[in-house]
């Protein structure tokens, strides 16, 4: 009998408990980091912006411009990190982060027809844990509220 076949399969493969005292520090450290644990700039540029582009494309929305920069917050002023998106039909949105942390206070502003925004709304104020899927879904939800997605 082939001994390799008599071994029981490791059903826990890939499920490492970082609190297991039998694991070395090296094994614990090799646990993959969450996207959201990346430095803010890296997360925004490598993950969030490409996800916005793909999500808008999947919703048949043409994106003319998408910029991430430190700038003046629309409507109320003050410096912030912002993502400025420009869509077709003179539709624009600004997603603002008060600091270079995903958990910082966030706001969104929206404008149409070449106008400047006149209202700054709180964005994700009740969420304790901010994830890429949550950011994308709530941004799309807000844009859909404006009837900017699909056949609205």
CB proximity list for 38: less than 8 A, separation 6 or greater: 46, 47
Kindly state whether residue 65 falls inside one of the protein's structural domains.
yes
Please tell me the total count of domains within the chain.
1
Kindly state whether residue 28 falls inside one of the protein's structural domains.
no
Q: 6: how many CB neighbours lie within 10 A of its CB? A: 7
Kindly state whether residue 56 falls inside one of the protein's structural domains.
yes
For residues 17 and 15, give the distance between their C-alpha atoms in angstroms, rounded to a whole number.
6
CA dihedral 69, 67, 46, 54 (to 10 degrees): 150
For residues 93 and 105, give the distance between their C-alpha atoms in angstroms, rounded to a whole number.
17
Domain span at residue 79 reads: 36-145
pTM, two decimals, is 0.75
Residue 6: which H helix or E strand, with range? helix 3-6
pLDDT tens per residue across all 152 residues of the chain: 554 444 444 444 455 555 666 655 555 556 667 777 789 999 999 999 999 999 999 998 999 999 999 999 998 889 999 999 999 889 999 999 999 998 899 999 999 988 888 888 999 887 778 889 999 999 999 999 999 987 65
């Amino acid at each position: 009998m082939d001994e390799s076949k008599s071994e029981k399969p490791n059903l826990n493969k890939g499920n490492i408990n970082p609190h297991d005292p039998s694991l070395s520090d090296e094994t614990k450290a090799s646990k993959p980091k969450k996207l959201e644990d990346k430095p803010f700039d890296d997360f925004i540029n490598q993950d969030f912006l490409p996800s916005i582009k793909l999500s808008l494309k999947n919703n048949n929305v043409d994106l003319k411009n998408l910029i991430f920069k430190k700038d003046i917050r629309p409507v109320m002023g003050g410096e912030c990190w912002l993502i400025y998106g420009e869509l077709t039909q003179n539709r624009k949105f600004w997603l603002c982060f008060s600091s270079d942390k995903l958990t910082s206070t966030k706001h969104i502003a929206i404008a149409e027809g070449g106008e400047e925004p006149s209202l700054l709304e709180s964005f994700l104020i009740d969420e304790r844990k901010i994830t890429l899927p949550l950011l994308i879904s709530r941004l799309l939800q807000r844009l859909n509220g404006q009837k900017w997605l699909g056949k609205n």
